[in-house]
Every structure is written in C-alpha cells, then in structure tokens.
C-alpha cells in the first residue's frame, strides 16, 4: 500500500493475511520442488554415512511406508529451509513502515548475523560433527556385528543434527546481545562457567544417550561455542 494515509487495523490485518498467503503458497511450491528432487537431497544426506559404513553394507527400511515417509520428511524440511528467507523477507516488509531508519539498519544486521551463524553451524554439524559421530558409532562393526542403519532413523538424526548445530551457533550472538542490553551483569557467563558446563554435558547426554564418546565429541563444540559467547559478552 502506497497511500500516505495512516494504516487502519483492517489494513494491517489484510496485509498480514496477504503475506501469510504468499508464505504458504511459496512453501507449497518449494515442497513440491523438493519432493521432485528428493533423490538428490537424500543422496547428499547419505554422504557422511557412506564414508563410515563398511564395504558391502547399506541402508535398510523395515516398514512398508517407511521409504515414502522418509522422502516426505526430507521434502518437508527442505521446503522449510528454502522458505525461511522468503518468510523473513515478508516479516521484514510487514514491519518496515513502522521502523525508524536506525532500527532498520539494526534489524538488517541482526538478520544477517543470525542467518550467517545458523548456516555456518549447520555446515559445521554436517561436515565435521556428523561424520565423526558416525565413524565412531559404526566403527563397532565386526564379523559378529553387521551395521544396518534404518533409513528413517538416519535421516531424522541427520536433519536433527544439522538444525541443532545451526541453532547452537546462535548462542554466542544471544549471549552478547543480552549482555549488551544490560539484562545480565558483565562477567556473568564467566562466573557461572562451571554450571554451564554441567548443563552442556547433560544436553549432550540427552541428544546422544547411548554413546559416551559421541557425547564428548558433542560436548567439546558446545563448550567452544559457550566460551566464544562469554568472550563477546564482555
């Protein structure tokens, strides 16, 4: 709407409805596209496990609908990722008229840094943490133990790891933000480091409950992320 007249509540609701319709439409289009190319997406997600599986081993599925559901889930989460930038833009465009120039610049920086940290964390989780965990977990295979990872379990674990590390890498930004806003005293994270370490280890154990070594591998990056956040919060 280009009119100089003040927006009424009805105008705001109509604009919000239109932007939500655009987001839903865009999501449906990207979901259809993702499902059409889901073979390539799944092949990409299979790269870490292929490097760790013994020669001759492969993925399996045990339920009749498991393969179909796995493809649907991959297409869904791929559509979520592809829709996220469009959704953020729609939120930005909706809020834009109500923001001052200084607030616009601050919000741009916020979106840029949050997005960059999430992408970096997702890449780190996929290329570094996931292959390491799989290598250790599948390293127990022997003549008496043949690894036959289930398709759906592996895909869920992989997608969870990618999203989890994307979110984890947002932590330093949030720690620095709450410190800069004065919501916590300076040096708070440094003083409470030991309690944070205990919480981070329990988080690792919760995410990977069956393998102590994998828990330690996850615990290390979590501690590094926390220390980076503690450093920037000063």
User: How does pLDDT run across 28-80, given as a tens digit for each residue?
Assistant: 999 999 999 999 999 999 888 888 777 767 778 777 888 888 899 999 989 99
- pTM for the predicted model, two decimal places: 0.74
The first and second tokens of residue 145, run together, are 């133990």
User: What's residue 88's pLDDT?
Assistant: 86
User: What's residue 1's pLDDT?
Assistant: 44
User: What's residue 20's pLDDT?
Assistant: 94
User: What's residue 116's pLDDT?
Assistant: 85
User: What's residue 105's pLDDT?
Assistant: 82
The first and second tokens of residue 207, run together, are 């995410």
User: What's residue 3's pLDDT?
Assistant: 46
The first and second tokens of residue 200, run together, are 């981070």
What are the C-alpha distances in Å from 111 to residues 18, 117, 130, 173, 193? 22, 10, 27, 11, 28
Low-confidence ranges of the chain (pLDDT < 70): 1-7, 56, 142-143, 207-211
Tokens 């496990």 -> residue = 49
* List of residues 6+ apart from 175 with CB closer than 8 A: 189, 226, 229, 230, 232, 233
- Asked whether the beta carbons of 232 and 176 are under 8 A apart, the reply is yes
User: What's residue 2's pLDDT?
Assistant: 46
């Amino acid at each position: 709407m280009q009119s100089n007249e003040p927006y009424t509540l009805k105008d705001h609701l109509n604009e919000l409805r239109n932007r939500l319709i655009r987001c839903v439409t865009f999501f449906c289009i990207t979901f259809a596209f993702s499902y059409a190319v889901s073979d390539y997406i799944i092949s990409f997600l299979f790269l870490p496990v292929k490097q760790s599986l013994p020669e001759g081993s492969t993925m399996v599925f045990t339920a009749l609908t498991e393969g179909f559901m796995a493809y649907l889930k991959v297409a869904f989460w791929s559509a979520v990722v592809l829709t996220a930038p469009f959704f953020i833009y729609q939120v930005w465009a909706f809020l834009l008229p109500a923001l001052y120039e200084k607030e616009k610049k601050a919000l741009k920086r916020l979106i840029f840094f949050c997005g960059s940290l999430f992408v970096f964390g997702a890449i780190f989780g996929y290329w570094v943490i996931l292959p390491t965990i799989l290598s250790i977990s599948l390293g127990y295979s022997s003549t008496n133990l043949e690894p036959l990872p289930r398709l759906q379990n592996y895909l869920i674990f992989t997608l969870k790891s990618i999203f989890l590390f994307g979110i984890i890498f947002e932590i330093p930004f949030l720690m620095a933000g709450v410190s800069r806003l004065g919501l916590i005293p300076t040096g708070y994270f440094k003083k409470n480091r030991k309690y944070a370490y205990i919480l981070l280890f329990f988080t690792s154990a919760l995410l990977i409950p069956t393998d102590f070594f994998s828990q330690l591998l996850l615990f290390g990056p979590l501690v590094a992320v926390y220390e980076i956040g503690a450093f920037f919060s000063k």
